[in-house]
Structure 1
Amino acid sequence: MTRPHYNLEAWKLAMTLVKNVYQATRTFPQEEIYGLTAQMRRAAVSVPSNLAEGAARTGRREFSQFLSVAKGSLSELETQLLISAAESLNNSITQSLR
């Protein structure tokens, strides 16, 4: 079975983003495990997931819709990174993600 998303540079970068977000949120306070930590991880995972799902679709219009969802997840994650910085939850890794 071919996996067209494996060839997408955006998907590869998004997979690295997921790894970095997981690494960064490991240092967040325990009380954030079901809050900001979980939200950031879900938003990060959503990006490559939607790129992969879109790449598996047959039409350009469908692919475009999934790209739009991935872009929205990136914006969501960016906002969460800003919140983590404002709340002093960030460390050097979250700074580099910004």
Structure 2
Amino acid sequence: MLKHNFRQLRIWTDSVDLSRKVYLLTQKFSTEHRFGISSQLYRAAVSIPSNIAEGSARKSEKDFAHFLSISLGSAFELETQLIIAKQCNLATDADYDNLLNKVEVLQKQIKSFLYTISQ
């Protein structure tokens, strides 16, 4: 039996929602950017909930913490890619500001959960 059901974790549900929103943003990009930065954005976004889910299946909290750390790294990667895309004017400032805020909140949530299970 799993100690953590990833589907019930707020960090997982929030990161799945964030992935969906990143996907919708990248659909607004012109075709020339769809296979470059948009692919990177989406892969980083999807990596966040994927690592949370994979880590939840591990037998120890230490192993789970390792996957949460990877997930947190992906969140910072996503933040960086959003900043770059914003600076390249690939979509509206409002779209990016909304997503950047959600990423920052998720980073704090993951850090907090990581701290809790590491105690």
Band of TM-score, shorter chain: over 0.9
- Residue-pair matches, total: 98
What SS is found at the alignment partner of 1:34?
coil
TM-score calculated relative to the size of structure 2? 0.77
1:36-89 deviations in Å (ceiling 9; x for gaps) = 000000000000000000011110111011000000000000000000110001
Q: Which residue number corresponds to residue 97 of structure 1?
A: 99
Structure 2: give runs of 5+ residues left out of the alignment.
Answer: 101-119
How far off its partner does 1:95 sit? 2.5
**Identical amino acids, percent of aligned pairs:** 40
Q: Which residue number corresponds to residue 58 of structure 1?
A: 59
TM-score calculated relative to the size of structure 1? 0.93
How far off its partner does 1:94 sit? 2.5
Structure 1: give runs of 5+ residues left out of the alignment.
Answer: none
How far off its partner does 1:32 sit? 1.1
How far off its partner does 1:90 sit? 2.2
